[in-house]
Amino acid sequence: MGLSEFAFAKVNLYLHVTGRRADGYHLLDSLAVFPEAGDALEAKAAPALTLAIEGPFAAALEGGDNLVLRAARKLDASRGAALRLTKNLPVASGIGGGSADAAAALRLLSRLWGRPVPEGAAAALGADVPVCLVSRPARMQGAGEVLLPAPRLPRFGMVLVNPGVPVATPAVFAARVGGFSPPASLPEGWWKTEAMARDLAALSNDLEAPAIQICPPIGEVLAAIRATPGCLLARMSGSGATCFGIYVTLDEAIEAEALLARPGWWVWGGPCGRTPT
């Protein structure tokens, strides 16, 4: 019998660049949430470690050392498994697709092999992997390895739109100009989506402007999302190019998904706001 894990997309509701370490890594402050979009990973016991990739974005991962395999070796380089990844999320898109896949591999193979995930293994694979490992709303700080409780979140609708153009994170950070932002001051929680969107609008994604400079279609995506009925906030996630819109209801998000369909664009609409228990 095989096992499976869902690799939830990660969305940064805001992202402040708060500083830079001596080793060059940037320090961040962000609120990450996990809408119900993502990739799927399956595993079966096998003598050797193999990975088959299918799905609409499989071709973008061909020929490389996938993060799923790196995660498997990080957990136990001596064990084998037959892995199958269904790649539904666009690659290099600012919603943690590769990191979510790596985190799903750690969770999945921990179950299959009966091994706990070693401390520090997730952070060694990438800045977004620790938060994707828990796949629940969290405040991210440091270089992504510091996870704090998220404010209470309402259940809300979200739309995700990617213009079909990959954006390299190092290039976006290199294009950023100006100083650093302070960490956000957040309430203990939001009961209403309108209040959450209003508070988030006072914050920013510090990487949005440099990403638009590198990839102008991001600006077109943001304008299109803002024009949909019921959109309370539109912003880029991570280092781009995926952008999101927040809506009070799921029906509004589903309607926006239909309205935002364009040739070459990846669009998803659905629920978000799962709250830690």
Q: What is the pLDDT of residues 4-24, one digit of tens each?
A: 999 999 999 999 999 999 988
What integer pLDDT is reported at residue 64 of this predicted model? 63
Say whether pLDDT at 110 is over 70. yes
DSSP 90-146: PSSSSS-HHHHHHHHHHHHHHHHHT-PPPTTHHHHH-TTHHHHHHTS-EEEEETTTE
Please state the rounded mean pLDDT for residues 84-97: 94
What integer pLDDT is reported at residue 161 of this predicted model? 98
Task: Return the CATH fold of 149-272.
Answer: Alpha-Beta Plaits (3.30.70)
What integer pLDDT is reported at residue 149 of this predicted model? 97
CATH number of 3-142: 3.30.230.10
Q: What is the pLDDT of residues 179-209, one digit of tens each?
A: 999 999 999 999 999 999 999 999 999 999 9
Catalytic residue among 10, 74, 101, 206: 10
pTM of the model: 0.95
Active site residue 44: no
Calculate ∠ Cα 248-249-253, nearest 5°. 100
Q: What is the pLDDT of residues 52-61, one digit of tens each?
A: 999 999 998 8
Share of the chain above pLDDT 90, in %: 92
Instruction: Give the integer Cα–Cα distance in Å for 116 and 107.
Output: 9
pLDDT band at residue 158 using 50, 70 and 90 as cut-offs: very high
What integer pLDDT is reported at residue 92 of this predicted model? 87
Largest CA distance in the chain: 54
DSSP β-bridge partners for residue 38: 8
Give me the chain's average pLDDT, please.
Answer: 95
Active site residue 10: yes
Catalytic residue among 29, 39, 101, 128: 128
> 230: phi > 0 → left, psi -120 to 50 → alpha, else beta; which?
left
Residue 87, classed as helix, strand or coil, is coil
Residue-range domain boundaries for the chain: 3-142, 149-272
